Amino acid sequence: MSIASSMTINEGQLSAATWLASPNTNKRPEHIRIDTIVIHNISLPPNEFGACGSDGNHYVKALFTNQLDWDAHPYFQTIKGAEVSAHLFIERDGTMTQFVNFNERAWHAGRSSYLGRAECNDYSIGIELEGSDFVPFSAAQYEALANAIVAIYDAYPKTRRHLTGHSDIAPGRKTDPGDCFEWTRLREMVARLLEG
């Protein structure tokens, strides 16, 4: 059995991801269909991967669950009070954590527009990769991401035509997933998985 065939979504949760609920979520507007996937990158502090607080909690996971110690690093003062989340977070080793049910609205895109439609959080699924604009992503991340996308395509078929980056929906404000992100590599991996 392939990884793709064993990764499924049931009632808005990805089988391969650890569940860690974020309070930073709300209901999607009525009659909105999920039809877009947005790829981001994040690292806390910037360009540091796998960093954890004194409690052992990964800083990114702490941010998404409103548990980040704002005094743990000088950079954190610049984002103090931020209430953000993503549906999925993929670490450098491919480990996946889900913070928001796919059927609910995660707070990942901010002020945004895609194909003339504002408020991308309303109709998109947000996936954060642990990384930065300036460091290549790992093979494990591409594998996890491609498999997650195929599972999302299966559960939410309208997303098949709308895979985009944060920089595309918030140009001038956001630059992620960055120049190091290999879109062609990802699309080819997804295509191979879809072919079976």
Tens digits of per-residue pLDDT, 48-76? 999 999 999 999 999 999 999 999 999 99
Helices (H), the chain: 3-6, 59-64, 139-155, 166-169, 183-195
Asked whether residue 106 carries a pLDDT value surpassing 70, the answer given is yes
What is the CATH T-level fold of the domain 3-195, as seen in this structure?
Lysozyme-like (3.40.80)
The per-residue pLDDT for range 2-20, each reduced to its tens digit, is 444 479 999 999 999 999 9
Closest residue by Cα to residue 108 from 184, 176, 16, 178:
176
**First vs last Cα of the chain: how many Å apart?**
11
Report the pLDDT value the prediction gives residue 1, as an integer from 0 to 100.
Answer: 33
Domain ranges within the chain, ordered by starting residue: 3-195
**Residues annotated as part of the active site:** 128
Report the pLDDT value the prediction gives residue 196, as an integer from 0 to 100.
Answer: 81
Report the pLDDT value the prediction gives residue 10, as an integer from 0 to 100.
Answer: 97
Averaged confidence pLDDT in the chain: 96
Query: Considering the entire predicted model, what is its pTM?
Result: 0.96
